[in-house]
Amino acid sequence: QVQLVQSGAEVKKPGASVKVSCKASGYTFASYAIHWVRQAPGQSLEWMGWIIPGNGDTKYSQKFQGRVTITRDTSASTAYMDLSSLRSEDTAVYFCARSYTTSSEFDYWGQGSLVTVSS
């Protein structure tokens, strides 16, 4: 069965970076895009960017351009989201999600990874 399993919770200080992983199983990793979406406490969902694991192409939301980097390791069927220059407003649950193309609905989601930014 399709599964996206994310890394655990992180606590970071302002100005630091965080790297969240998303390990895929149950399907051909290269054949589906992986998106990263975050949700601040009590707030809605916010799309951050995607990667096409097959060729490594990426696209980021303008809001996060320059601070976010999405990468993948095809040998490990894992995608990564790196967010730098963290501030308190980045405290959120970060989700990865799969879509068949970059213009498709998100049919499977990871369980979420809580990132807390606090001094």
Interface residues toward another protein, by CB under 8 A: 35, 37, 44-47, 49, 59-63, 95, 97, 99, 103-107, 109-112
Q: What minimum distance in Å lies between the beta carbon of 51 and another protein?
A: 13
Tell me how far, at minimum, the Cβ of 16 lies from another protein, in Å: 25
Q: Which is nearer to another protein, 37 or 86 (CB)?
A: 37
Closest to another protein by CB, 31 vs 74, is: 31
Nearest to 22 by CA among 95, 102, 75: 95
Beta-carbon contacts of residue 65 (< 8 Å; ≥ 6 apart): none
Cα 62 from Cα 71, distance rounded (Å): 17
Closest separation in Å from C-beta 105 to another protein: 4
The residue to which tokens 């992983």 are assigned: 21
3-class state of residue 48 by DSSP? strand
